Amino acid sequence: MPADDSTTDTNATTGRAGLVGLAAEPGVAKPDPILVAHGITRQFGGLKAVDVDHVEVQRGVITALIGPNGAGKTTFFNLLTGFDAADSGDRSFNGRSLKRVSASKVARLGMVRTFQLTKVLSKLTVMENMRLGATGQRGEQIWAAPLRFLWADQEREVTERAMELLKRFKLDAKADDLAGSLSGGQRKLLEMARSLMVGPELVMLDEPMAGVNPALKQSLLGHVKSLRESGMSVLFVEHDMDMVRDISDWVIVMAQGQVIAEGPPESVMGDQRVIDAYLGAHHDTDITELDLDALAAEAEAETLSNRGDSA
């Protein structure tokens, strides 16, 4: 039986299929955006840290947000998720404006984030951290707390869901350990698992590979891909270009607070605007072929040398 035309049209505009044929230009409209930001600015004194005219995040795909240090990526993340307030502009999630919506309410709407520096509660167990991620728990209400019969069943369901996620992230053996005893990579896994307790539609990851040892890197990569396969959308900030090329469907590039390029990974990596923003004089080289850490160290050494000369 032939597919219904309306179904075919919908499939063509959702997920990765909707990215096919899009112009690789800043602010390009997506056929099925889950998140839209327009006219977002944030200024600190005389520095305009973020000045994003328009950007859309396609539903059901993995989108990378990259850029050199100081490009404004994390500040932009904070503005999108309500952890900081923009000076101007608006953003919408699933068509709903998030203007003046608090970070906690944004999370309850289905848009959650992790942090570059993990925010686990180190003196609580791994399981207790997971339970805290669930929303709408009746036992959290003061009047209901002493009446266990009102929330015991719900707590059992939350615990079961938490254990399923811990098994998925291979942390179930650590369920009763204090979160503070986990390694840096395990804390990243815990934070990602905890974010899924609210059943989000969009997961935003701020440098998920920062400080993670190579043994856990592949595991984290697999988990990020699994979010997309589960029907979620992912937006992540990352400096690891191999990771960006490996898992992202679309890449947005920021420099000096602005979006300077967008497109599929293979297109963006060779974009002259991106090469200029990252490398200055290294104009003839694909950014994935360079050691960005070495270049950063070289720049830092030059800065220190200049300070010494002026002293």
Are residues 205 and 257 part of one domain?
A: yes
Are residues 136 and 112 part of one domain?
A: no
For residue 239, which amino acid is it?
A: H
State residue 5's pLDDT score: 46
State residue 72's pLDDT score: 93
Are residues 160 and 143 part of one domain?
A: yes
Taking the C-alpha atoms of residue 259 and residue 189, their distance in angstroms, rounded to an integer, is 29
Enter the pTM of the model.
0.80
Contacts of 34 (CB under 8 A, 6+ apart): 57, 58, 59, 60, 93, 94, 201, 202, 233
5 in a domain, yes or no? no
- Tell me which residue of 161, 137, 159 sits closest to 150, measured CA to CA: 137
Are residues 129 and 115 part of one domain?
A: no
**E strands in the chain:** 33-44, 47-58, 62-66, 88-93, 96-97, 111-113, 202-206, 233-237, 250-255, 258-263
| pLDDT < 50 regions, the chain | 1-3, 5-10, 281-283, 310-311
Are residues 212 and 162 part of one domain?
A: no
17 in a domain, yes or no? yes
Q: What is the pLDDT of residues 127-171, one digit of tens each?
A: 999 998 887 676 666 777 777 777 678 788 999 999 999 999 999
Boundary of a domain, candidates 154, 181, 208: 181
Are residues 128 and 107 part of one domain?
A: no
Q: Give me the domain span that covers residue 28.
A: 12-120+199-310
Taking the C-alpha atoms of residue 43 and residue 93, their distance in angstroms, rounded to an integer, is 23
Structural domain count of the chain: 2
1 in a domain, yes or no? no
